[in-house]
Structure 1
């Protein structure tokens, strides 16, 4: 996969000594793909890319031989042709480049092609889950269980009044206020990058198509809300106006029919993706 090729572009890590357990992260292990990912295994190294705080903007790939390659591979930076576009956008203050790379891959019919995951920018994985909620939640006091009987009655009256008035945190939710899910959704990636997404390049007849599905994440704050009445009561008694950190995701998906060697833009109010497809000598002359 492209993720494996990104990893293979990293230099090989220095050998570990008996008393050396921490290393510089921007490297790969020679046998990294052979480690069995058993939870809690103290001898299996962490995935090198998961330890990066930021990716390089320009990816300098190892290249490969298109005649003999058995899988897609990243190209070196000297073949990048969209550098003037990237520099102009940054010079004019119209955007901040997050990821610039090129790779070689075969193109098949829709349904037979392989989707590639792209990711770059800042790695928020240490502090946020993929769904945007913080990994560490502030513990709430529960005055109903610790207070005196009079205080309990006062708290109950306060809560009943808040419910009747529809005040926080019992007020209706709005579309910009996500409620924390009870569990992390199965199938989500484990890492939360500033930019990530899937790109699928395929043929319909003789026409190239790009199906792009991307996310841009920004740190934000949201009101503390809950799914259950018990937590809502605790929030109300602990100042529900306080906000909690949240990693907001701006999502967009576009399907586009394209022509090779032309530059195509995927536009969005928050981000843009510039794509150019250039055929190799092995490409069928029909497209």
Structure 2
């Protein structure tokens, strides 16, 4: 009997391990929302809550859906439109043109056109799809608002890596509808993904963002962007209105009046004055392409959700919600710091614009298929983790074997 137990033990153990191996793949669905209540009306001190941003590895599954692929060509800078009827400079017209001994331009030989690349229908569809993807923004900085539901249209052909769910796979739609009807809550992000969930050491945190991008107005520390004042040419001219200032700005203007005689002398003096007022003036920069610059994105909602598997499923989540408001200058360490950050003097107003941050940092041990709720006075998260059976790997195409003649 004992011998039979020893023989059956490997079979029994393998039968117990096999279901667990299949259950390592899971569907994780998340609904993040905020409360519409004014934070100042809540009797809680959010400023003194300690929060340390996690430094673990992060995985962004939303970026591939919203942003252009990394292999797309760089976009051309936006060219300043030329006024109608304006002629190109002579230097531009004659650049690169060669002339013969009689002064006639030499026409460059016509180079043969490159042969058109022949594509199969499948390759052409893939190429057109790639071109369409390249029209997307290059970074989060270019986006101003994100949709609430984040899903992809088509599932990948295999389960080789984590990926977002399609809309029909989401199961928390009733909860989204109830939050919308309540009027007290605002859904911020509804999404889900499939991934292989293993030990804590090997699992990254899934990076999630949602809502409005405050980056055009605020920095990541909450203050407004510094105001860059344009160069005031009129003030410079008024400053140089007297002869002493003019002499200091324009070399040679200290000469006697008898030496500045004739229109050429007057023209030279004006040219030197213009050089003094506009030292960096470049005529070619008028129609030069202007690259578009975006401030770093500061999202209304930032979240890192990390799920790992031991005996139980574990959820570790960090969420940051941002709300615009006003802050008293007395709360700033120094007047100079505030003036540089916002361009507003303390004496100009009792408060200054400020982007407040509210944090949720919670950990929980859960079972699969259960719906769990993470609560905060200003936000919340509903999450469900469902077992998923991984699809079999796609076998590579094997070449057809030729029949062997007998």
Give yes or no for TM over 0.5: yes
Choose from 195, 208, 211 the match for 1:105: 195
**Are residues 1:6 and 2:62 paired?**
yes
Normalising to structure 1: TM-score of the pair? Answer: 0.63
**Change in 2 beyond 3 A, CA 1:251/1:11:** closer
SS at the partner of 1:101? strand
**How do 1:241-280 and structure 2 match up within 5 A?**
242-280=350-388
Choose from 169, 185, 199 the match for 1:95: 185
Normalising to structure 2: TM-score of the pair? Answer: 0.46
**Change in 2 beyond 3 A, CA 1:16/1:132:** closer
**Are residues 1:47 and 2:138 paired?**
yes
Judging by fraction of residues, say which structure has more helix. Answer: 2
Which residue in the other structure is 1:193 paired with? Answer: 299
SS at the partner of 2:212? strand
**How do 1:22-171 and structure 2 match up within 5 A?**
47-65=138-156, 68-136=158-226
Give the Cα–Cα distance (whole angstroms) in 2 for the partners of residues 136 and 127 of structure 1: 9
**Change in 2 beyond 3 A, CA 1:15/1:278:** same
**Change in 2 beyond 3 A, CA 1:232/1:244:** closer
Deviation string, structure 1 residues 202-260 (Cα, Å, up to 9, x no partner): 123x200100100111001001244347669999x852752111110110100001111
Residues 63 and 73 in structure 1, CA contact (< 8 A), matched pair in contact too: no
Unaligned runs of 5+ in 1: 33-44, 140-189
**Are residues 1:214 and 2:319 paired?**
yes
Deviation string, structure 1 residues 172-199 (Cα, Å, up to 9, x no partner): xxxxxxxxxxxxxxxxxx4211111111
Give the structure, 1 or 2, with the largest relative contact order (CA under 8 Å, sep 6 or more).
2
Residues 68 and 138 in structure 2, CA contact (< 8 A), matched pair in contact too: no
Residues 127 and 136 in structure 1, CA contact (< 8 A), matched pair in contact too: no
Deviation string, structure 1 residues 131-177 (Cα, Å, up to 9, x no partner): 212112599xxxxxxxxxxxxxxxxxxxxxxxxxxxxxxxxxxxxxx
How many residues end up aligned between the 2 structures?
215
Give the Cα–Cα distance (whole angstroms) in 2 for the partners of residues 137 and 16 of structure 1: 29
Q: Alpha-carbon deviation of 1:263?
A: 0.7
Residues 137 and 143 in structure 2, CA contact (< 8 A), matched pair in contact too: no
Is the radius of gyration larger for structure 1 or structure 2? Answer: 2
